[in-house]
Amino acid sequence: MRKIMEELEDCPVIAAVKDEKGLEECLNMDVGMVFVLYGTVCTIGEIVKRIKDQGKIAVVHIDLIQGLSGKDAAVEFLKTYTRADGIITTKPALIKCAKELGMFTVLRFFVIDSMAYDNIQKQTAGYRPDVIEILPGLMPRVIEKIKKSVRCQVIAGGLISEKEDIVAALKAGAVAISTTDKNVWKM
């Protein structure tokens, strides 16, 4: 986990890839971590291998992989058969399983109202992910408030496409940002 956290601090831009074209492009960019937001149970092993072969950290959004269920066996499959470094999920129970397997864990939250905000504190305290990802990432005041209320690092994700967005999120306390915007990967 220490290596992954150091990578986030060294390179706070995470390439989030949602298709083959995005994967191809990120493999040739100077990003250290890749969030995989696509694939099937049949293709995820090769996707992760390509990322790892480039010396990058591969974190798979388990909820978005076709053919995987929201069960512990899906986490065990990713760990055993793909060598993924970690998972992203909106399901706290999967965080618990991944942590037990020694995987890096990202618990993703969509902050759409005060109920969602209150839920962040409860779920992070109960399941203790390595980091949480807040979407949309264009809310510096909310990021700052969340950062003060949880005991883990925060990643800002979603809708980040300008250098000013990155600076605002990092200044608010985010350790990194994740984006599918290939132009941001170059910054």
Contact 157, 12 (CB under 8 A): no
Mind spelling out the 3-state secondary structure of 42-109?
CCHHHHHHHHHHCCCEEEEEHHHCECCCCCHHHHHHHHHHHCCCEEEECCHHHHHHHHHCCCEEEEEE
Contact 177, 14 (CB under 8 A): yes
Whole-prediction pTM value?
0.96
Q: Which helix (H) or strand (E) holds 116?
A: helix 114-127
Contact 37, 62 (CB under 8 A): no
DSSP helix/strand/coil, 179: strand
pLDDT in tens, the chain (187 residues): 788 999 999 999 999 999 999 999 999 999 999 999 999 999 999 999 999 999 999 999 999 999 999 999 999 999 999 999 999 999 999 999 999 999 999 999 999 999 999 999 999 998 999 999 999 999 999 999 999 999 999 999 999 999 999 999 999 999 999 999 999 988 7
| Residue 140: Cβ within 10 Å count | 18
Domains of the chain: 1-186 (3.20.20.70)
